[in-house]
Amino acid sequence: MFVLALLPLSYIAWKFSTDRLGANPIRELEIETGLWTIRMLAVALLVTPVRRIFGWNWLAKYRRMLGLFAFFYACVHLSMWVGVDWFFAWGDMWHEIVKHRYILVGMLTWLILLPLAITSTKGWVRRLGKRWVVLHRLVYLAAVTATIHYLWAVKKDTFFPVVYLATFALLLGYRVIDARRKSSRARPPRSGASAAA
């Protein structure tokens, strides 16, 4: 799984080193690493639904790694923008962040993912207990802001951003329904009580 998650990066690096990224390779690097951040988020968020639906519990152990890979691709993406696209021109970058909402949303996404990556260790899971679960629900917010960042970056071809947005809505919807079902099972069945009355 570790090797699998690195394949996209190797492919991008191979295309870069063999001059296959077209006439504007810097833009391609940004687009590709950004897209793989969103894809990795989608794959990480798919783990639990797939596990529940198909009973593939062995997938559980890969969830953290996939989430961390999403953060990893986000870091590569951000460093492309900082170090390659803008070549550490901090003033210009600040101007970009405050003036252009899609940059701002992208930055926000990275800032949401950062604490999630930090608290992904066993120690932090133990220390935070129930609060860890609440905190890590923020990953759905990050998925949505990442896709809005993508949506606002494109000009008119909004098909794929909308597809990703729908995917994340579906994944979140499943988790909400699943949680409802579980909590109604845990509580005494109210409908039964009213029927008895």
Partner 1 sequence: MLIRKPADIKSSEITPEHMALNRRKFLAAAGVATAGVLGTGKVLSAFAAPHQQNDKPNTYEEITTYNNYYEFGTDKEDPSKNAKNFQTRPWTVKVDGLVKKPADYQFEDLVKPYKLEDRIYRLRCVEAWSMVIPWQGIPLADMIKRFEPLPSAKYVQFTTLMAPDRMPGERQPILPWPYVEGLRMDEAMHPLTLMTTGLYGKPLPNQDGAPLRLIVPWKYGFKGIKAITRISFVEAQPRNTWQLANANEYGFYANVNPEVDHPRWTQASERRIGQFRRQKTLMFNGYADQVAKMYAGMDLRKNF
State which residue, 100 or 181, has the beta carbon closest to partner 1. Answer: 100
Please select the residue that binds partner 1; options are 1, 4, 7, 24, rule is CB under 8 A.
24
Q: Give min distance, CB of 157 to partner 1, in A.
A: 4
**Alpha carbons 3 and 114: distance in angstroms, whole number:** 23
Please select the residue that binds partner 1; options are 8, 16, 62, 104, rule is CB under 8 A.
16
Report if residue 22 touches partner 1, rule: CB under 8 A.
Answer: yes
3-state secondary structure 101-127: HHHHHHHHHHHHHHHHHHCCCHHHHHH
Report if residue 86 touches partner 1, rule: CB under 8 A.
Answer: yes
Report if residue 157 touches partner 1, rule: CB under 8 A.
Answer: yes
Report if residue 10 touches partner 1, rule: CB under 8 A.
Answer: no
Question: What count of Cα atoms within 13 Å lies in the side-chain half-sphere of residue 59?
Answer: 17
The span of 18-26, 57-65, 164-172, 176-184 binding partner 1 (CB under 8 A) equals 18-26
State which residue, 32 or 43, has the beta carbon closest to partner 1. Answer: 32
Using N-to-C axis directions, what is the helix angle for 101-118 and 138-153, rounded to 10°?
150
Q: Which residues contact 106 (CB under 8 A, 6 or more apart)?
A: 34, 78, 145, 146, 149
**Alpha carbons 64 and 75: distance in angstroms, whole number:** 16
**Alpha carbons 14 and 31: distance in angstroms, whole number:** 16
Residues 56-85 that bind partner 1 (CB under 8 A): 84-85
Q: Give min distance, CB of 77 to partner 1, in A.
A: 17
Question: What count of Cα atoms within 13 Å lies in the side-chain half-sphere of residue 48?
Answer: 15
Report if residue 35 touches partner 1, rule: CB under 8 A.
Answer: no
Which residues make up the interface to partner 1 (CB under 8 A)?
Answer: 16-20, 22-27, 84-87, 89, 92, 95-96, 99-102, 152-153, 155-157
